[in-house]
Amino acid sequence: MAEDPLNQQAFAEDVAAAAAAGGENGFAVPPGQESGGAGFQMPSPEDIWKLVEQMEDISDAEREELRESIFNPKAPTAEDYMRQLAQPGHSSREYLVFMVMIALIVLVFALFGYKLYKSLTEKQIKKQEKLKSKQQKKAKKSN
């Protein structure tokens, strides 16, 4: 449908028509329910289960889970909400692992930086010694 502009245009027109013929508060209502939803009835669990049985892309375990939630719905309790709020986003162990990884990366950079600094200072010292030895040779020749 994403590549089909005719269907997109038809869909947009249907949505606009449903919104224009909407019920109370400007909400769109299903066809045949233009009286504000007075005759609308929620589908029964059996109707919903029939639709679930027609689905081919779900496994048997998912189907059983849906069956349980349709026929035996469990309303969330205050304990459920508190349990969700009490679970931290990250544990202190995860932070510890993160900090250790950061420390290792910093340590590797520090090691390479120290080796580079040491190498450059040694080269500079050798260059200065070489220059001194040349100057001493030159001074001996001129004497």
Radius of gyration, CA atoms only, the chain:
38
Cβ atoms of residues 86 and 80 within 8 Å: no
The sign one gets for the Cα dihedral 115, 121, 124, 125 is negative
This prediction has a pTM of 0.36
Average pLDDT score, the chain:
81
DSSP-based three-state secondary structure for 138: helix
What is d(CA 70, CA 52) in angstroms, rounded to the nearest whole number?
10
Q: Encoding tokens for residue 67?
A: 């069956």
What is d(CA 72, CA 78) in angstroms, rounded to the nearest whole number?
19
Residues of the chain with pLDDT under 50: 1
